[in-house]
Each structure stands twice: as C-alpha cells, then as structure tokens.
Amino acid sequence: MSNVQWFYADAQQQQQGPVTFEQIQQLAASGQIQPASLIWNEGMPNWSAASQVDGVFNQGAPQPAAAQPPGNPYAAPVSGNPMGAPATGGSYPIPPVKKVSYPLFLITSVAGIILYIAAAVIIFASVAKTATEFENNKPSQPPMETVEDFNKFKAQSEAEREAQAEEQAEKIMEDFPVAAVGVGGIGLLLMMIAGILGLICVYRAWCCVQPGGARSTPGKAVGFLFIPFFNIYWIFVAFYGWAQDWTRIQASHGNLAAMPRVSPPLFLTALISSFCIIIPFLGFLALVAYPILYLIMMAQMHKVVNSMAAASRQTH
C-alpha cells in the first residue's frame, strides 16, 4: 500500500500530488487537508472526502485499492477536469468556499454605469452647446455680383473659418465641464471594482463545481477571459458552461436539492445579447436588455456561491 500514489485537492481546489499515504496522513495532521478535502488514488473510481477514507484522520489502515485498470498505474485522472473523475450520485462533497457580496457588486456596477453615462452626457451637451452658438453667430453670405466678389469672399471665409475654429476650440476649453471628467473617472473606477468583484464570484463559483467533474478549473475560467479574441469563445465557457455544470451536478446529488437553481438559457441569452449591441436596429434593444440580464445572471451565480459557503462552514 505504501507504493500507491495519492492525489489531493488543496484549499484552492487545485490537484496536488502524487504523494504517499503517509504524507496524506501528515498533511491531515497539520491541517493542510481538512475532513472535506478531496483525495484520490489510482485504485479509487471517484474522488472522496478525506474523512471518508479510513486511516487519514483515525490513523487506521487505509481502504484497500481497487483493481487497477489497464494503462499507466501511476497516472492521475485524465479527464478534462484536473480534479479527476467526478463525484456522481450520493452525497456531494462540499468544497471550502468563501462567500461573496452581491449587494456590493450591484451597487458598484449600477453606480459606476450611471456616473459614467452622466459624465458623458454632460460633456457632449457642453460641446454641442458651444458648437450651436458659433453656428448661429456665423455671418450670412453677402450677394455675389462678380467673380471678383466671389473670390474675395472665399478668401475672407477661409480666414474667418480658421479664426472661428480657433475661437471655438478656446471657447470649448473655457466652458469644458471639468467636474464631469471627475465624475466619469469615479464611475469608471466603480465599474472596474465591480468587474473585479464579478471575477472573484466567477472563480469561487467554479470552485463549487470542481468535485463534480467541472469542465474547467477556477484559474482557467478567470484567466482565459483575458486572452484577446479567444475570450470571445471562452466567455461562453466561463458563464454558460458553469451554469450547465452546476445544473448537472445539482440534479445528481440529493444533498444539493435545496441549493439555488440557475437557468442555463438565461446565461446564454445574456451572453448573446452582449454581442447584439453592435448589430443595427437590435443594438438599442440589446443595450437595454444586456445589463438587466447580466445582473440577473450574476445574482444566480452569487446565490450558489453563498449557499455553498454556508454549507462549507457547517461541514468544516
């Protein structure tokens, strides 16, 4: 049994190992492996909570390994999920997850959008007002009786237009609403904070589905969103893919029946609407619908994370 290679999930739900069973016991004794932490060896069909494996905490003999399947006896699980084979049926092992604050996310998102839009409207209105005033004060064209009169007027007009453009630019700078720039900056900062809070929620949401055979790790789910062009595809994996995984996992485990449900079609609709903003005619409708759908989508994700965090506190 001492030659059996073991793997375990750390606090970030990342696979670690291989290690010996004696090292598993040492990690459990030091607190690095908790009773709810997932462990696995090549003879086990699924990952199991450490408390369910004899010998990890009670220092008895570990459960015997099942017959080895053909292939490399020391290979870690090779599924798309680096946490290995998914836990199916029975009681779902609750991973350690921290709660997130949807009210804070909602306030920073809405306040940031309102302030940013308000600043843009104020700046645009100020520039438009100055341009209208100059257009209204523009001298009318005098009657043209000869070609010489036309050439003279043309030369004067060009000089006047240049002088008027300089004067208009100076007037715009004098009347420029500097306070609006500060308001827009605050709005942009709040939207950035909301974005960071949203990514934290996405990371923890993926931590919730790791024991169930998730299609991605939390780090990949968030990190790949920053890859240019590729993130156009990956955003569907990070959000819609998570909704599909959670729905599948919740339906497979009785102890998750009371957990909040999510709507994968809603996630998909929200993501598609974000791309419809650039489409003529549909753009305005999508511009109104997307923020609402996005906030509802994130509300569902926050509820799942907080429910799992509450269950995690009870388990640990």
What is the per-residue pLDDT across 218-267, written as a single tens digit (0 to 9) for each? 999 999 999 999 999 999 999 999 999 999 999 988 889 999 999 999 99
Whether residue 144 contacts residue 157, with contact meaning beta carbons closer than 8 Å, is answered with: no
Q: Is the whole-model pTM more than 0.95?
A: no
Same domain, 231 and 309: yes
**Mean of pLDDT values over 146-164:** 61
Which pLDDT value is given to residue 153?
55
CA dihedral 217, 218, 224, 226 (to 10 degrees): -170
Between 50 and 260, the more confident residue is: 260
Which pLDDT value is given to residue 82?
42
Beta bridge partners of 7: 40
Residue 83 scores a pLDDT above 70: no
Q: Which of 122, 124, 123, 126 is nearest to 171 (CA)?
A: 126
Does the residue 96 lie in any domain? no
Does the residue 213 lie in any domain? no
What residues make up the domain containing 240? 102-208+218-315
Does the residue 308 lie in any domain? yes
Same domain, 110 and 228: yes
Same domain, 107 and 227: yes
Does the residue 150 lie in any domain? yes
Under the banding of pLDDT at 50, 70 and 90, the label for residue 139 is low
Q: How many domains is the chain built from?
A: 2
Does the residue 92 lie in any domain? no
Same domain, 68 and 37: yes
Read off the pLDDT of residues 89-125 as tens digits, 9 standing for 90 and up.
Answer: 568 888 889 999 999 999 999 999 999 899 988 888 8
Does the residue 241 lie in any domain? yes
Under the banding of pLDDT at 50, 70 and 90, the label for residue 69 is very low
Same domain, 266 and 229: yes
Residue type, 218: P
Task: Report the C-alpha gap between 313 and 83 in whole angstroms.
Answer: 22
Q: Which of 160, 85, 94, 169 is nearest to 127 (CA)?
A: 169
Same domain, 83 and 107: no
Q: Which of 113, 295, 109 is nearest to 195 (CA)?
A: 109
Does the residue 97 lie in any domain? no
Does the residue 201 lie in any domain? yes
Same domain, 232 and 148: yes
Same domain, 43 and 149: no
Same domain, 40 and 133: no
The number of residues in the chain equals 316
**Mean of pLDDT values over 1-26:** 80
Same domain, 107 and 254: yes
Task: Report the C-alpha gap between 101 and 197 in whole angstroms.
Answer: 8
Same domain, 233 and 261: yes
Residue 52 scores a pLDDT above 90: no
**Strand ranges across the sheet with 48-49:** 15-19, 6-9, 38-41, 48-49
Q: Among the listed ranges 2-11, 70-79, 263-272, which one has the minimum average pLDDT value?
A: 70-79
CATH code at position 67: 3.30.1490
Same domain, 167 and 283: yes
